[in-house]
A = this chain, B = another copy of it.
Amino acid sequence: MAPRKPASVNIKDVARHAGVSLGSASRVVNNVPNVGEATRAKVLAAIEALGYRPNHAAQSLRSRSTRTIGCLVTDVSNPLYAQLFRALEERFLAEGYLLLLANGLNDPDREIALLNLFRLRGMDGVVIAPGNERHAGVLKAVAALEMPAVVLDRDLASPHDKVQFDHAAGMRAAVARLAGLGHRRIALVQSQSANRPMRRRAEGLRAACKAHGLEFDDRWLVQLPSSTSSAYDAVAALLATPDRPTALLVQGTSILVETLNAIAAAGLSLPRDLSLVTLGDPDFAVHHAPPLTALRVDLHAVADRTAERLLARLGGETAEAVSLRVPSELIERGSCGPAP
């Protein structure tokens, strides 16, 4: 491909215009300390006069740094990831890094291709949450990454810093609250995936119930085979059992809405007949009648931890990989009440 643009003004032009050497011009551009006041002023003036803007590709080539971070999530249509991206963008932009977002869409081949692309494009660092945490190819692609990486809420067998959501603690908080309200039968409704969040929530609920001396019947664990399967039917069936749970923990926007419909259809009313905690905090939770009590991770804390780790590695930190845990917060609204 032939160069298209009519060679724009470069640092050489700046140096010439300012009547100083190439090196001095570069020093001013890069804020290197050892520069005389007069020189600096002349160069600054030249930059202004010529409208000089450094060529990023040349800088990258020379400095071996693109000042770009790759960000691989499952799907930015998921508000969790969208908000996380925003929070990360905030942190990295402040440090002069641009964030490149890519959707893995739970497709291992796509995730692998994207990871390789990140490598090819010379990302300075990456933050990744691969949907397929056990896929050999994905694991290999992650291992092949030669830049610093932070793994988000995944149990990935890799020597990278990890930022995990503390699902267990979240479950403890929710169960503690519910138990305090007299609930003894608590159910969990979520999609069925083999990934860390799902596993941890189920484990966490079991452990928390045990800790509070509550029985936990496996029927209370509703794992919906696929996103197309009807949460409505499953919840309706659950609520029709004689010793039905008195509190529901519900994950996923669609599942939540269908669950709410099933509750209404069963003639049950929140929080009188049933208590509900949403896992994750969709837009409408706060607007719902009654407003829905939510258990959610503090995404800003996640972004802070993630940025802190990655920035430290970019700064050359070589200490062993760490695994950070970010707590969930229980936002009390109106959907939990005393057990009937």
Whether A61 lies near B64 (C-beta < 8 A) is no
* Distance, CA A282 to CA B257, complexed state (A): 12
Determine which of B5, B65, B100 lies in contact with A100 in the assembled complex, contact meaning CB atoms within 8 Å. B100
Q: Could you say which of A57, A261, A264 has the most chain B C-beta atoms within 10 Å of its C-beta?
A: A57
Given the known interface contacts A57-B122, A120-B53, A283-B257, the answer about A83 and B77 at a Cβ–Cβ threshold of 8 Å is yes
Q: Is B64 touching A4 in the complex (CB atoms < 8 A)?
A: yes
Asked if A16 CB lies within 8 Å of chain B CBs, one says: no
Give the CA-CA distance A14 to B82 in the complex, in Å.
42
How many copies of this chain are found per oligomer?
2
8 Å CB contact of A103 from B53, B89, B119: B89
- Verify if A165 is at the interface (C-beta below 8 Å from B): no
Q: Does A98 interact with chain B (Cβ within 8 Å)? A: yes
Q: Are A287 and B82 in contact, with the CB atoms below 8 A?
A: no
Is A66 close to B, CB under 8 A? yes
Give the residues in chain B near A146, CB-CB below 8 Å. Answer: 5
Instruction: Mark contacts of A138-166 with chain B using CB atoms, 8 A cut-off: 1 yes-contact digit, 0 otherwise.
Output: 00000000100000000000000000000
Residue on B nearest A65 in the bound complex, by CB: B1
Interface: A63 (CB within 8 A): yes
Please provide the chain A residues from 260 to 303 with a CB less than 8 Å away from any CB of chain B in the complex: 261, 264-265, 282-284, 287-289
Query: Nearest Cβ in chain B — how far from A55, in angstroms?
Result: 7
A135 within 8 A of B: no
Report the interface size class on chain A. Answer: 35 or more
Interface assignment of A23: CB less than 8 Å from any CB of chain B:
no
Cβ contact within 8 Å between A61 and B53? no
The complex places the Cα of A261 from the Cα of B287 at a distance, in Å, of 8
Contact B122 A102 (CB under 8 A): no
Tell me the complex Cα distance, A58–B76, Å. 31
> CA of A5 to CA of B61 in the docked complex: distance in angstroms?
12
Question: What residues on B are CB-neighbors of A261 within 8 Å?
Answer: 287-289
Greatest chain B CB density within 10 A among A75, A98, A103 is at A98
Given known contacts A57-B66, A61-B55, A122-B56, is B103 in contact with A101 (CB within 8 Å)? Answer: no
Closest chain B residue, CB of each to CB of A230: B287
Query: For the complex, what is the distance from the CA of A65 to the CA of B56, rounded to whole Å?
Result: 11
- Taken together as a complex, chains A and B put the C-alpha atoms of A63 and B284 apart, in Å, by 48
Min distance, Cβ A119 to any Cβ of chain B, angstroms: 7
Q: Can you list 23 A-B contacts with CB-CB less than 8 angstroms, sorted by A residue number? A: A3-B64, A53-B120, A56-B121, A57-B61, A57-B64, A57-B122, A60-B61, A61-B61, A68-B100, A76-B82, A77-B82, A82-B82, A89-B102, A98-B100, A98-B117, A98-B121, A253-B284, A254-B287, A257-B287, A257-B288, A258-B287, A264-B289, A282-B283
Interface residues of A (CB under 8 A from B): 1, 3-5, 53-58, 60-61, 63-66, 68, 75-77, 79, 82-83, 85-86, 89, 98-103, 117, 119-122, 146, 232, 253-254, 256-258, 261, 264-265, 282-284, 287-289
4 closest A-B pairs by CB: A57-B60, A257-B287, A57-B61, A257-B284
Given contacts A56-B120, A77-B83, 7 further A-B contacts (CB under 8 A): A5-B64, A68-B100, A100-B100, A256-B284, A257-B288, A258-B287, A284-B284
